[in-house]
């Protein structure tokens, strides 16, 4: 689809306008400059037209601090790849020298340019908008992003100026991969290394990434969306309101992801916050890959990998199914192998076991390790079936759900993993009570009663 870049100096309402146009609150909005840093992408549908909108940080020409320079570079990338540029200015504040500087830069792109004079939410303010005519731009509109005034006319003009494009063919379902972890573990560096470009801002300052930044890409013919997220700190450490919003964005990014790359700092090992973050992904049924970053900073011997692996599995025992890769975003070490693991985990999340094969597997397992008893009552597993994928989900029909306690569930899970793999994905069990009364003619599955596998009604 065509790309429209939203640019302008800081604090003119770019993110507010971006959110209004895409129809949901994607970009963090605060009444202070410099909140947006990376580029944010979202698709906009207007009448029979579609285009991709890109939000950018404040454009400052002569900034001296490192973060502002990074932000400007991100905006410049958006301008280069855009088919149309939407320049936003503050109508209440009026024309500034910085606005004029930005216009001079944009004129040199030779791309269609729309000037949106924002914050004109009352007819008395139209006189303020008139001041911007001196810029000599052919397309200018007064809007109020906060109240939605003039937005329809703006969208009409955008689709009018965009190049005509054929509607793309329907593509396969995208796999969303979120890069998660606590601050300063190298998440953004890893994203850039995977993409082979400076897609997101990288800095030693914790909290540099604020929004969840989506980037579509194709690897070996497979479509993915890579999501860089803000580092998640403990609540007691969160001081700024912006950081609280960033944390919420990161949690939502995990919820909408299919697979997460949990980035662990090799120089620190697994921390309590790492456990909380990966636990959130585990509880939401996401595929998990543990990426131990900054591996280039570790002094190694022939036991280093084994020692780290044992320590990680010991600390994250509930994600023992997750593959571990030792990598360095800085040097590129093993980064190329990450998407090989992503593809493998994605395939494992889609695995299905036929019901007859599943029940034969359970029958064999109960022969090796009989079902537990409590006060003389033995657990009977009548039958099981796989009800869903992503993550693989199984329903067990038993005589008494309370007899199937956690330890035996773990045994059954390990049995399934040894037989089928399910690498990198959680497995969910649902236990249902089923009556022991059954006529043989209506049995769903007939097994050996002596091994704790009973007959169940269909």
Task: Identify the CATH number of the domain in which residue 447 sits.
Answer: 3.30.300.20
> 335 in helix, strand or coil?
helix
CB 191 within 8 A of CB 199: yes
Residue ranges for the chain with pLDDT beneath 70: 24-39, 61-71, 165-172, 197-213, 230-250, 435-458
The two tokens of residue 395 are 């329903």
pLDDT for position 198: 61
- Structural domain includes residue 443: yes
Same-domain check for residues 248 and 318 = yes
Query: Do 316 and 237 have their domain in common?
Result: yes
- Mark whether 200 and 60 lie in a shared domain: no
Work out the burial of residue 4: count CB atoms within 10 Å of its CB; fewer than 13 is exposed, 13-18 middle, 19 or more buried: buried
Give the whole-angstrom CA distance, residue 351 versus residue 345. Answer: 10
d(CA 458, CA 445) in angstroms, rounded, equals 8
Query: Is it true that the peptide bond before 391 is cis, omega within 30 degrees of 0?
Result: yes
Backbone φ and ψ of 262, nearest 5°: -85, 110
Alpha carbon of 343 to those of 192, 317, 393: distances in Å? 19, 23, 20
Residue 307 falls inside a structural domain? yes
Same domain, 320 and 376: no
Q: What is the pLDDT of residue 10?
A: 84
Judgement on whether residues 192 and 322 belong to the same structural domain of the protein: yes
Do both 340 and 359 map to the same domain? Answer: no
Asked if 333 and 364 sit in the same domain, the reply is no
- For residue 39, the enclosing domain spans 2-161
What pLDDT sits at residue 442? Answer: 36
Range list of H helices, 27-150? 66-81, 97-107, 126-130
Q: What is the pLDDT of residues 169-216, one digit of tens each?
A: 544 578 999 998 888 888 888 988 998 866 544 444 444 444 456 788
Query: Is residue 170 a part of any domain in this protein?
Result: no
Q: How many domains does the chain have?
A: 3
CA dihedral 268→273→278→279, nearest 10 degrees, is: 140
Residue 158: in which H helix or E strand, if any?
A: helix 151-161
In terms of domains, do 217 and 342 share one?
yes
Residues 20 and 144 in one domain: yes
- On the CB side of 284, CA atoms within 13 Å amount to 18
Supply the pLDDT for residue 66.
Answer: 65
**Is the same domain home to 288 and 382?**
no
């Amino acid at each position: 689809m065509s790309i429209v870049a939203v640019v302008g100096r800081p604090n003119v309402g770019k993110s507010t306008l971006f959110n209004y146009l895409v129809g949901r609150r994607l970009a963090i909005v605060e009444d202070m400059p410099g909140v947006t840093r990376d580029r944010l992408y979202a698709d906009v549908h207007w009448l029979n037209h579609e285009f991709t909108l890109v939000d950018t940080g404040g454009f400052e020409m002569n900034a001296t601090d490192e973060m502002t320079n990074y932000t400007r570079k991100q905006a410049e990338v958006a301008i280069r790849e855009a088919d149309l540029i939407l320049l936003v200015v503050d109508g209440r504040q009026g024309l500034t020298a910085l606005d004029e500087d930005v216009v001079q830069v944009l004129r040199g792109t030779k791309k269609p340019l729309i000037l949106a004079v924002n914050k004109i939410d009352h007819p008395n303010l139209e006189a303020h908008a008139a001041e911007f005519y001196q810029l000599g731009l052919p397309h200018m509109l007064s809007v109020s992003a906060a109240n939605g005034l003039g937005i329809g006319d703006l969208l009409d003009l955008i689709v009018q100026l965009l190049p005509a494009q054929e509607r793309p063919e329907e593509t396969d379902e995208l796999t969303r991969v979120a890069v998660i972890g606590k601050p300063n573990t190298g998440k953004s560096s890893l994203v850039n290394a995977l993409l082979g470009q400076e897609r997101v801002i990288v800095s030693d300052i914790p909290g540099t990434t604020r929004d969840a930044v989506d980037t579509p890409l194709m690897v070996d013919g497979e479509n993915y969306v890579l999501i860089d997220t803000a580092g998640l700190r403990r609540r007691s450490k969160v001081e700024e309101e912006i950081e609280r919003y960033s944390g919420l964005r990161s949690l939502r990014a995990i919820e909408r992801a299919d697979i997460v790359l949990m980035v662990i700092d090799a120089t620190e090992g697994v921390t309590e916050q790492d456990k909380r973050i990966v636990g959130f992904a585990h509880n939401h049924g996401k595929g998990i890959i543990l990426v131990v970053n900054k591996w280039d900073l570790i002094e190694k011997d022939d036991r280093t990998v084994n020692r780290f692996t044992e320590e990680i599995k010991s600390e994250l025992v509930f994600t023992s199914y997750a593959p571990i890769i030792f990598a360095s975003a800085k040097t590129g070490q093993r980064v190329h192998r990450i998407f090989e693991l992503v593809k493998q985990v994605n395939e494992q999340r889609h695995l299905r076991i036929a019901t007859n094969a599943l029940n034969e597997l359970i029958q064999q397992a109960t022969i090796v390790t009989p079902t537990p008893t409590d006060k003389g009552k033995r657990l009977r597993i009548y039958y099981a079936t796989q009800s869903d994928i992503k993550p693989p989900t199984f329903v067990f029909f038993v005589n008494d759900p309370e007899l199937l306690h956690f330890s035996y569930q773990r045994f059954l899970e390990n049995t399934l993993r040894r037989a089928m793999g399910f690498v990198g994905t959680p497995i969910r069990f649902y236990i249902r009570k089923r009556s022991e009364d059954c006529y043989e003619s209506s049995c769903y599955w007939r097994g050996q009663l002596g091994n704790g596998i009973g007959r169940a009604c269909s």
